[in-house]
Amino acid sequence: MLIITILVFIFIVNRKNLQLEKNSKWFSLVLFSLFASLEVSVARAGFGSSVALSQRYLLLTYWSIIGLYFISLNFVNIYCRNFQIVPDRFSAKDIIEKTKILNYLLLGSVLCLLFIGVSYHFVTGIETGSVLNEQFEQNKYYLETFDLQPDRNLERLYPDATAVREKATLLRKYNLSVFSQEKYDLEALKKKDKEPQYSVDSINGQQVNLIKDKTVNIAITSTETDEIVIEGWAVDVDENKLARAVFIVVNDKITVPSRYGIKREDLINNLNNKDFLKAGFRASFNPSLLGDGTHRIKIAVVSNDGTSYCIGQKNEYNLYV
């Protein structure tokens, strides 16, 4: 709306001398940008306002600001450098001076809009990039652990969960995409008889508090949820560095890889080590893999060099499914 207002004022101030030969291309750019933005907003409105106003579509509007800048600059140059271009009937000194001041004000408004737009795009671009990166990493984890995930998580990758499982099986068979990256198998690593440094913060959103009791009992109703989510943090206590990987071990039989490397800014102060910023982990899996009954959860932490692991024994996490 502000862009249209400035454009209207430019027309009003310079209505007797629009200099269409110089400005026609910039007027066209402004109109194209505005109509393209309107078209995208209307077409995407059905997906919600957040989609219609998505960061990736804002660049279309930004071209109109650039067009306004060059239009305003042309008019300022006309009144500052060559008054002969102005028709004789408007050559009175006070009228020219007034028009020049108004064009300066319009140019200043466009410059402010330009700088605000750049700043806004810069800040929101960083925020949007962080959100998209988080979504990418989470979807990557779902694909890596597709055989452990409920259909709902796989449908984030593609509407047909069955198709995702079929294609993911082929990718894993030929070590393609996310399956080409290095993976860790606890059976192939050396087990150390040492308690790892870790914490389970929540299980399915229920906060875990081990201050008073080292046994945590969490009830999961499989008919009400199709996913078990375990969140926390872990580090390599021997090397005082980040771990290489974290696994959830269920009943000493089922091993669930976690997504390790999630930002945890609170750990920088709590553990007094800035290198632990990305020590968070998040694991998710389908409760149907466990069956009804009581299941004990343990946390296995792979060392920073990827050659050994420690498994937690002091704390007990029991899931009642």
106-151 residue pLDDT tens: 888 888 888 887 887 788 878 888 888 999 999 999 999 999 999 9
Task: Determine the Cα–Cα distance for residues 111 and 117; give it in Å rounded to an integer.
Answer: 10
Task: Determine the Cα–Cα distance for residues 154 and 164; give it in Å rounded to an integer.
Answer: 7
- Amino acid letter, 39: E
Alpha carbons within 13 angstroms on the beta-carbon side of residue 177 total 13
Rg (CA), the chain: 30
> pLDDT per residue over 44-95, tens digit each?
776 666 655 666 667 778 888 888 888 888 888 776 665 555 455 545 556 6
Q: In the CATH scheme, what architecture does the domain 187-320 have?
A: Sandwich (2.60)
Instruction: Please name which of 32, 27, 21 lies closest in space to residue 72, comparing C-alpha atoms.
Output: 27
Q: What is the pTM of this model?
A: 0.76
Sorted by where each begins, the domain ranges of the chain are 2-139, 187-320
